[in-house]
């Protein structure tokens, strides 16, 4: 049975990333989607030129209206946060929701491939540390995990170094941790800790050497959808890795990779 999921992500006008990538996936998986945009963004940041309109006032007023109306959700999924005020607002929402039995999925969107995205500052990293403290599941890529933990970014990690990075995020308050696109002892993998099973895990994958904007959003949406359907975390992660790999290979010859994967043409991969 589908869950009521609130997406607290940015909405991009040109590009299948963030909310535009997540909504079709979770809807196709049978969940009921509601949205609270953190910002309206002109296009994916990879193009290097963009316009961002923060929605903090709208978010605050909307949450008050929803409170008056008695609306509730079974899961909250958060993405890019654009200000300290917004981070405080979303953290409070997640804490209040968790107290009512709501699951909180935090994707600390900040950067990739060893650097922060265009327009992302050190202040954003601090905001995301606050978000980690309220997460049932936190899903950074390796770059984001290193920035959150204030750890050096390395080409390759030992298993103890990977475990140390996972533990740093757990110490911030996150219950389950999954770090994507980490390279551990020569193997690309998703490494983390599953709080339901009380065990560490390392799930290897073969890296496809093709970049698309938004693949992390698709991965997180597929994983979240399966977890909310009652599947074990590691099985959900494996299904998400498999789905993203198929979608990348199917679209690898597309002319513009910054616009992301045309997700609506790939939804049968999830079935």
Domain holding 211: CATH number?
Answer: 3.40.1190.20
pLDDT at 31: 98
pLDDT at 1: 82
- Counting the structural domains of the chain, the total is 1
Q: What's the start-to-end Cα distance of the chain, in Å?
A: 15
pTM: 0.95
pLDDT digits over 122-173, tens only?
888 988 998 899 999 999 999 999 999 999 999 999 999 999 999 999 999 9
Q: How confident is the model at residue 24 (pLDDT cuts 50, 70, 90)?
A: very high
pLDDT digits over 190-228, tens only?
999 999 999 999 999 988 999 999 999 999 999 999 999
pLDDT at 64: 97
pLDDT digits over 81-106, tens only?
888 889 889 989 999 998 999 999 99
The answer on pLDDT for 119 being more than 80 is no
Which range marks the domain in which residue 99 is found?
4-270
Residue 196 φ/ψ region, left for φ over 0, alpha for ψ in the -120 to 50 degree band, beta for the rest: alpha
Cβ–Cβ < 8 Å for 228, 5? yes
pLDDT at 164: 97
Burial of residue 238 (CB within 10 Å: 0-12, 13-18, 19+) is middle
pLDDT digits over 53-71, tens only?
999 999 999 999 999 999 9
pLDDT at 107: 96
């Amino acid at each position: 049975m589908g869950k009521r999921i609130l997406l607290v992500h940015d909405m991009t006008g040109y590009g299948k990333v963030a909310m535009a990538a997540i909504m079709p996936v979770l809807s196709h998986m049978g969940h009921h989607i509601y949205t609270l945009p953190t910002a309206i963004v002109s296009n994916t940041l990879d193009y290097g030129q963009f316009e961002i309109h923060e929605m903090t006032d709208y978010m605050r007023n909307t949450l008050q209206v929803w409170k008056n109306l008695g609306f509730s959700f079974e899961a909250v999924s958060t993405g890019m946060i654009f200000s300290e005020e917004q981070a405080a607002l979303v953290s409070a929402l997640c804490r209040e929701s968790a107290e009512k039995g709501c699951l909180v999925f935090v994707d600390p969107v900040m950067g990739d491939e060893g650097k922060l995205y265009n327009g992302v500052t050190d202040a954003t990293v601090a905001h995301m540390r606050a978000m980690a403290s309220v997460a049932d599941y936190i899903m950074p890529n390796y770059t984001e995990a290193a920035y959150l933990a204030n750890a050096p970014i390395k080409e390759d990690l030992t298993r103890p170094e990977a475990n140390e990075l996972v533990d740093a995020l757990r110490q911030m308050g996150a219950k389950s941790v999954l770090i994507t696109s980490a390279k551990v002892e020569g193997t690309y993998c998703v490494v983390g800790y599953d709080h339901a099973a009380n065990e560490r895990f390392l799930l290897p994958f073969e890296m496809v050497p093709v970049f698309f904007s938004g693949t992390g959003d698709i991965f997180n949406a597929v994983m979240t959808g399966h977890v909310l359907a009652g599947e074990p975390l590691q099985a959900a992660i494996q299904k998400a890795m498999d789905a993203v790999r198929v979608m990348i290979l199917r679209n690898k010859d597309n002319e513009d990779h910054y616009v992301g994967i045309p997700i609506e043409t790939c939804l049968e991969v999830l079935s």
